[in-house]
Structure 1
Amino acid sequence: MLSRLSYHRSPLSGRSGAAGGQAQKPGTTKSMQQYPNYQDLVLVGGGHAHAIVLQMWAMRPMPGVRLTLVSPQSQTAYSGMLPGMVAGHYEHDDTHIDLTRLCRAAGARFIRARVEAIDPELRTISMPGRPDLEFDLLSIDVGSTPSRNIAGAERALPIKPVENFWRHWQQLQKDIATSKQTVAIGVVGGGAGGCELAMAVAHALREPIGAGRAEVHLLTRGERVPDQFPPMAQTAVVREMARLNVQVHGNWAVTEIEANGVHASDGRFLPLDQVMLCTGASAPGWLANSGLARDESGFIQVDHYLRAVNCAHIFAAGDAASLTGRPLPKAGVYAVRQGPILFHNLRATLTGRPQKPFRPQREFLRLVSCGDRRAVAVRNGLALTGGALWRWKDHIDRQFMARFSELPLEMDDKRPHDGDIIRERDGQHLAPMRCNGCGAKVGADALSRALAPLPPQQSSLLHRGIGDDAAVMQLPAGELLVQSTDQLRAPVEDPWLFGRIAALHALSDLFAMHARPATAQTLVTLPLAAEALTRRDLHQLLAGAVHELNRHDCVLSGGHTSEGAELQLGLSVNGFASKAQLLEKTGAKPGDCLLLTKPLGIGAILVAEGLGKAHPSWHEAAIDTMLQSNAAAAEILAQHHARTLTDITGFGLLGHLLETLDGDAPLGATLFVDRLPLLTGAATCAREGWLSSLQPQNARALERIANPEPWQSDPRWQLLVDPQTSGGLLGAVPAERAGDCVHALRESGYAEAAIVGEITMPGSEELGTPVRLTGESPQLQEG
């Protein structure tokens, strides 16, 4: 969906331009949304079943229902390909589903957060460091982790969470490759997963260190492996492990893990350098206090419709669910097959239609990956082994992943069935004709209920605030009032995150003036929705803004809310400063160094994410950059005698630099292109032409570069005018203080702060083109 973004194809890509949706004509009373939202359906966890729900939702949306995914990771691993990833047959991204892109295709919100509690009665989800999220209907697919009921288990490396395992496994491979000692690795767990992991590790370590330098041990409390497999299959798998020199230790119940090995229940000790856990499944700890009925292992008990047995508005699937009357093995195949049933039953619950039962197969084909592109196929007690079976498995797995990676963001046949549309809540529906003027305000009850839970705020300067017709503020003696305002369309789907970003973006103007924030007022536009959803959004949005305002001793003193076509947040911020401490945009001197505190590329990456082209890590890095406050950077620059300071926002680096040069006396600047810090992925975005709709206007500033020819094909050319949301600061600092300033900035967390140019005195022929680019830079000390 590109409802909140438009983009421009740059000349670098050789492709034509495109734009987002058309704006509504002013003054009309036509409904701003064809289908307002009435219900909140929240998916907790990015497991296989939820991935399929999102994929199917993308092909068959349900207007009137707002779908939200909450997951701590923006990529979710496909379990069937993990052994291949460990063995080195697949790259990380080959085996992971991009949840950010999948949510965009489904028209769903993605909230990257870790759930730590749910309240079925209040219908809320708790996440650390942020307000509770309310829901009407909930589904849980959070998977499981290996059981750690072994003394010293904290010394072992569990296979899940996968991201943690992958990070440590990559480092372990590097350490082993540089070691001259024989390395012994033990895998605890005799199920199919433990066998696959042991063989994958054995294969991966063959090449870099040579035969005989790595020992791989598989420890199981049973007599034979894999557990619960037929004898013919066990024989085949053990034969494959022997071929890879994996040593199987049967009847070895591990009772304690030490730094140098493991103890068995009968007193035996096996020396090991690294222990990996692939033991039985363990439920997330927070389920214990959820109030949901659970089985003896702590998993949510569900009926054959996948509903929690004691809570009809909560569903569960995958490893998190335990089917009442017929417990199933914790296997990805069941989660995959539950996906379509879950999709149907969630929608049936919202529409009052009959639900479908989940009927698991009693027997299914199992393909066990055997390290070096071989597999064992098992069904009905029979087993076959060979490379062709691995290639068949590889084909099946890649086809499954293509369902998500190749899912289009826009579909021509997305018209909803009339019976799929939710048009009311509690018997009430929104009038299709919406009023303008004050008739577009958010209702008083929704407003007061959204404001009530906000964190407390106090200020000795604020005499009257929220609740009065206007704010009344005491001006400190001898200080000047500094004011600024900014308004943003939502660059992210998470309203709490958006509130934080918008507040930091607005406060940056005060930081750039070296002023102290004091109060803020908000202008909020909320998309049309049922009152309950409007209240929820408003609370999340304001809570995010207040979170950042409180961090900077700034009080929310009032605001205004209204209906609109899309989510927007504006803030008017007030601060104070003495005349002597104020910093301005102009006043630099020739020879000053130009310092930039944050990397560039936010605008391009936001567009790429909207097009489904951005890697999740690019988007995460852009969000982290937007959430980094400029307050400390401004103070450091002031301490190092910055002569000018400005924040890099909508006009891009070049546009704001030109404002700095536009003082009483003509100035020029040289930019050190090779020193410009860029977000990962930004150069790719520029090369591909994934650029902001503001780019064509900002690009006019490029005409003021004196030497454009060598640079116009360089992706950094376009990024000079890339609009930044909550971007960094650009300061002119005396050359003798610049190195120490960069060092102080980096020590304070601005890891990519850099000297990116210097102020010059332009020649008479360069007055209209005061900026020069160079790939060379003087030998400057940057700490």
Structure 2
Amino acid sequence: MQKYPNYQDIVLVGGGHAHAIVLQMWAMNPLPGARLTLVSPQVQTAYSGMLPGLVAGHYTLDETHIDLARLCRAASARFVQACAHQIDPVSRKVSLLGRPPLEYDLLSLDVGATPARELPGSELAMPIKPIGHFFRFWQKLQEQVQKTHAPLKLGVVGGGAGGCELAMAMAHALGEQVLSGQVEIHLIHAADNIPQDYPALARKLTMRELNRLGVHLHRNWPVTEITEPGVRNDRGELLELDRVLLSTNACAPPWLADSRLTLDEKGFVLVDRKLRAQGRQEIFAAGDVASFSTQPLPKAGVYAVRQGPILFHNLRATLTGQPLKVFRPQKRFLSLLSCGGKRAIAVRNRVAAAGNLLWHWKDHIDRTFMRRFSDLSMPTEEMPAAQPRELLAQRAGISLSGMRCNGCGAKVGSEVLRRALEKLPVQQSDYLLRGVGDDAAVLDLPATQLLVQSSDQLRAPVADPWLFGRIAAQHALSDLFAMHARPVSAQALVTLPTAAAEITQRDLQQLLAGAIFELNRHNCALSGGHTAEGAEMQLGFTVNGLAERDQLLEKSGARAGDCLILSKPLGVGTILAAEGMGEAHGRWVQKALDSMLQSNASAAEIFAQNSANALTDVTGFGLLGHLLEMLSADGLSASLIAERLPLIPGAAFCIERGWLSSLQPQNASAYAFVENPQEWQSLPHWALLTDPQTCGGLLAAIPEGSAESCVDALLQSGCAQASIIGAISHSSRAQSRVRLYRDGDWRQLTARDSEAEQSQV
């Protein structure tokens, strides 16, 4: 529920440390009328200070990563999972890969840096950033070492602090293999000083720790080329290596070169002392991507952390006309280097020390820092102070004194509508004669085919309007696929929260562009609709499809002996409920979204080709509710197998914690038709039987002889968790019933039935 209208858009590109702090501080003190959006390709962002501990095995992935989706939820910010690849400062747009650009009033960049790849053959090496890609590589490498026991030579190119920490962490994690000589770890650096730019005592301590862990050092060994056999230096010498990892000097993301921003010689964004991009009052930059022309700084996370509060203040101050703060980097700071095991080296000024207590001190500092992003309360419905809201409305040229009308007075304005529609993707249709822009749509439909219609409407389950448009379109189209009909047209009913005209236009364009993205994939044209203002964002569709009379599939028609096949996993409802409470991990939400955005079109076609006797989609009433609809039409019963029900990762955890959808209590009435509830009530699958699914999968009754080949076809088509979940049987009662089985009990039952059939023969 929107608490107050939005008048200005702040877009944060990148999930770096500075932006994470901005979001955390925003959650504690939001600015009424300003909408915050975070754009990041990853749903989690790594805290670089804990990467060595992650590689060494001291931390789990969740302990070292900030959950950006959850952090955005706490800050009432929108999370957009996408890759930025261009900025247009003139039109104030950020272009995103695979989706429409985002418009902004203020923009902030915290996209980090990547290891330089100017070395010939660097494409053969693995850079340590992005950390997510590197860690997946590292996990596979560890598995390979454990399974094959084959000799392996690893080389880390770059003897800075990061390279030293990485080499020691890997040596600790593979300690037995390193001591036995199976694995060799080589640290290669162009200069004599390791780690570079550290005082003599710190270098001496680091060298001692590297030697203790069995790391092979190659100083004064400038790498000039990376080849398949290994790395070669400027003297032509070859160091044979099986894998090469890059921890070299940082370089800027290449796409910034076309951003029209003022950059330094390495491609980083030049900023003033207030973190503003040079010559751009509405663009800020922080972290590694920011470069200070007056006082160049090393690329260290400590500066990004210090810039976070300054950036938070200056973004707000820019919108409210308040003075901006100056970032003053500290000249000296404590540096703590991890040494593989639970040891660390502390360096400040020219003093250094090493030991176990220093690692525990570092561990305490890192965990305390990470807790600030997890110990967050979810937003309340209290209205923040009015004064900043009035300031933002005034800057947007909006009066707060006027009452918002109902009826036709609540329609979105014609100019806003025109600007949004003119930016939408092109559509083609063989049947649409008149559509968007006319008073009504006109379709020329084939006389030999049946018209199939359905309507659906959703409240926004996500804050990203483009993503919501896609989900709502898929959800509506699913009813046509469940009838084995071919979509041809759709009409939209859009409700947008009250906001400034510019914000409304941006949201409407994103929402409809997302819907058209999915409609175009199925040759379905958006033929018109209606827009209005309301308390919250909602989107509904009336969809029209065509079908030959003999190709239609319905809920009724199942036969005793049919196998029940489910094309998608369960758990959308509980994961979205947990996300609304701020409890869901971002990766669970990501998996739920992936499931929702998978079209049911190919699954419907596969079910039809495998002689489905009945077909329905699993949506709001949950699996049990929709199964009972299928059974009651023909007076049948069914058996379900607990362990075969496919679940979205995280669904079992969420349901066991009691994070239930608000519709679940009503769906629970279906449990009355279960014959043996006591055998399942201790399993998470029990509550997930009535979990409402948005864009759920298809449930089909397939003849037993075709069931296995049908599942194989579904798996090959991309339905990765499609499964036979039970079977249809004759009903011995007046009402349809469902019996639940464990997988082992089911196998014994089917084995006995098979033996009985053979004895009768």
CA displacement at 1:230 relative to structure 2? 1.2
Aligned match of 1:272: 241
Amino acid at match of 2:730: M
Aligned match of 2:606: 636
SS in 2 for 1:691: coil
1:477 aligns with 2:444: no
Alignment of 1:92-111 (within 5 A): 92-111=61-80
Contact map agreement 1:119 1:291 (CA 8 A) in 2 = yes
SS in 1 for 2:15: coil
Amino acid at match of 1:585: K
Q: Give me the whole-angstrom Cα distance separating, in 2, the residues matched to 1:413 and 1:778.
A: 55
1:122 aligns with 2:91: yes
Q: CA RMSD in A?
A: 1.5
Alignment of 1:133-172 (within 5 A): 133-172=102-141
Runs (5+) with no aligned partner, structure 1: 4-32
Q: Give me the whole-angstrom Cα distance separating, in 2, the residues matched to 1:456 and 1:105.
A: 37
1:725 aligns with 2:694: yes
CA displacement at 1:561 relative to structure 2? 0.3
| Cα distance change of structure 1 residues 414 and 459 upon mapping to structure 2, 3 Å threshold | closer
CA displacement at 1:98 relative to structure 2? 0.5
Q: Given the alignment, which residue of 271, 286, 308 partners 2:255?
A: 286
User: Quick check: which one's helix share is greater?
Assistant: 2
CA displacement at 1:209 relative to structure 2? 6.3
TM-score by length of 1: 0.94
Aligned match of 1:772: 739
Alignment of 1:395-474 (within 5 A): 395-410=364-379, 415-416=384-385, 418-419=387-388, 422-474=392-444
Q: Give me the whole-angstrom Cα distance separating, in 2, the residues matched to 1:367 and 1:361.
A: 16
Q: Given the alignment, which residue of 11, 33, 39 partners 1:64?
A: 33
Q: Give me the whole-angstrom Cα distance separating, in 2, the residues matched to 1:109 and 1:249.
A: 47
Q: Given the alignment, which residue of 669, 673, 684 partners 1:700?
A: 669
Deviates more, 1:334-343 or 1:234-243: 234-243
Q: Give me the whole-angstrom Cα distance separating, in 2, the residues matched to 1:54 and 1:282.
A: 26
| Cα distance change of structure 1 residues 208 and 652 upon mapping to structure 2, 3 Å threshold | farther
Deviation by residue 1:202-256 (Cα, 9 ceiling, x = unmatched): 1111046654322211111111111111112111111111111212211111011
CA displacement at 1:188 relative to structure 2? 0.5
Deviation by residue 1:162-195 (Cα, 9 ceiling, x = unmatched): 1110001011111112333432211101111111
Q: Give me the whole-angstrom Cα distance separating, in 1, the residues matched to 2:571 and 2:178.
A: 40
Runs (5+) with no aligned partner, structure 2: 752-761
CA displacement at 1:326 relative to structure 2? 0.7
| Cα distance change of structure 1 residues 465 and 419 upon mapping to structure 2, 3 Å threshold | closer
Alignment of 1:320-469 (within 5 A): 320-410=289-379, 415-416=384-385, 418-419=387-388, 422-469=392-439
Deviation by residue 1:662-706 (Cα, 9 ceiling, x = unmatched): 22x411111122211111111111111101000010000111111
Amino acid at match of 1:770: R
SS in 2 for 1:364: coil
Q: Given the alignment, which residue of 134, 152, 162 partners 1:193?
A: 162
Aligned match of 2:726: 757
Amino acid at match of 2:704: A
Alignment of 1:599-610 (within 5 A): 599-610=569-580
Aligned match of 2:537: 567
Q: Given the alignment, which residue of 147, 151, 161 partners 1:182?
A: 151
Aligned match of 2:562: 592
Contact map agreement 1:499 1:542 (CA 8 A) in 2 = yes
Contact map agreement 1:425 1:530 (CA 8 A) in 2 = no
1:205 aligns with 2:177: no
Q: Give me the whole-angstrom Cα distance separating, in 2, the residues matched to 1:714 and 1:460.
A: 50
Alignment of 1:252-271 (within 5 A): 252-271=221-240
Q: Give me the whole-angstrom Cα distance separating, in 2, the residues matched to 1:78 and 1:349.
A: 28
Aligned match of 2:650: 681
Aligned match of 2:592: 622
Q: Give me the whole-angstrom Cα distance separating, in 2, the residues matched to 1:182 and 1:579.
A: 65
Deviation by residue 1:362-404 (Cα, 9 ceiling, x = unmatched): 1111111111111111111111111111110000000000000
CA displacement at 1:259 relative to structure 2? 1.8
SS in 2 for 1:132: strand
Deviation by residue 1:239-284 (Cα, 9 ceiling, x = unmatched): 1111112122111110111122110011111111111100000100
Q: Give me the whole-angstrom Cα distance separating, in 1, the residues matched to 2:503 and 2:261.
A: 25
CA displacement at 1:425 relative to structure 2? 4.0
Q: Given the alignment, which residue of 623, 632, 648 partners 1:653?
A: 623
Contact map agreement 1:61 1:414 (CA 8 A) in 2 = no
Contact map agreement 1:145 1:283 (CA 8 A) in 2 = yes
SS in 2 for 1:241: helix
Q: Give me the whole-angstrom Cα distance separating, in 2, the residues matched to 1:450 and 1:642.
A: 42
Q: Give me the whole-angstrom Cα distance separating, in 1, the residues matched to 2:20 and 2:478.
A: 38
Q: Give me the whole-angstrom Cα distance separating, in 2, the residues matched to 1:411 and 1:331.
A: 36
Q: Give me the whole-angstrom Cα distance separating, in 1, the residues matched to 2:560 and 2:147.
A: 51
Structure 1 vs Structure 2: percent identity of aligned residues?
Answer: 62
Q: Give me the whole-angstrom Cα distance separating, in 1, the residues matched to 2:182 and 2:266.
A: 39
Q: Give me the whole-angstrom Cα distance separating, in 1, the residues matched to 2:429 and 2:53.
A: 58
Q: Give me the whole-angstrom Cα distance separating, in 2, the residues matched to 1:754 and 1:718.
A: 19
SS in 2 for 1:573: strand
Contact map agreement 1:503 1:545 (CA 8 A) in 2 = yes
SS in 2 for 1:66: strand
SS in 2 for 1:110: strand
4+ residue segments displaced more than 4 Å: 411-414, 778-781
CA displacement at 1:34 relative to structure 2? 5.2
Q: Give me the whole-angstrom Cα distance separating, in 2, the residues matched to 1:467 and 1:425.
A: 33
CA displacement at 1:415 relative to structure 2? 3.9
Amino acid at match of 1:600: L
Contact map agreement 2:205 2:354 (CA 8 A) in 1 = yes
Deviation by residue 1:275-303 (Cα, 9 ceiling, x = unmatched): 11000001000000000001111000000
| Cα distance change of structure 1 residues 303 and 681 upon mapping to structure 2, 3 Å threshold | same
Amino acid at match of 2:465: P
Q: Give me the whole-angstrom Cα distance separating, in 2, the residues matched to 1:518 and 1:762.
A: 39
SS in 2 for 1:628: coil
SS in 2 for 1:549: helix
Aligned match of 1:12: none
SS in 1 for 2:187: strand
Deviation by residue 1:712-738 (Cα, 9 ceiling, x = unmatched): 222111110100000000111111111
Deviation by residue 1:330-366 (Cα, 9 ceiling, x = unmatched): 0000000000000011111011110010000111111
CA displacement at 1:57 relative to structure 2? 0.4
Deviation by residue 1:97-133 (Cα, 9 ceiling, x = unmatched): 0001100110100000011111111110111111111
Provide the aligned length of Structure 1 versus Structure 2.
747
Contact map agreement 1:176 1:209 (CA 8 A) in 2 = no
SS in 2 for 1:580: helix
Amino acid at match of 2:160: G
Aligned match of 1:578: 548
Q: Give me the whole-angstrom Cα distance separating, in 2, the residues matched to 1:402 and 1:760.
A: 53
Deviates more, 1:738-747 or 1:707-716: 707-716
Q: Give me the whole-angstrom Cα distance separating, in 2, the residues matched to 1:708 and 1:412.
A: 39
By relative contact order (CA 8 Å, sep 6+), the higher-ranking structure is 1
Aligned match of 1:745: 714
Amino acid at match of 1:312: Q
Q: Give me the whole-angstrom Cα distance separating, in 1, the residues matched to 2:657 and 2:580.
A: 14
| Cα distance change of structure 1 residues 245 and 416 upon mapping to structure 2, 3 Å threshold | farther
Contact map agreement 1:188 1:278 (CA 8 A) in 2 = yes
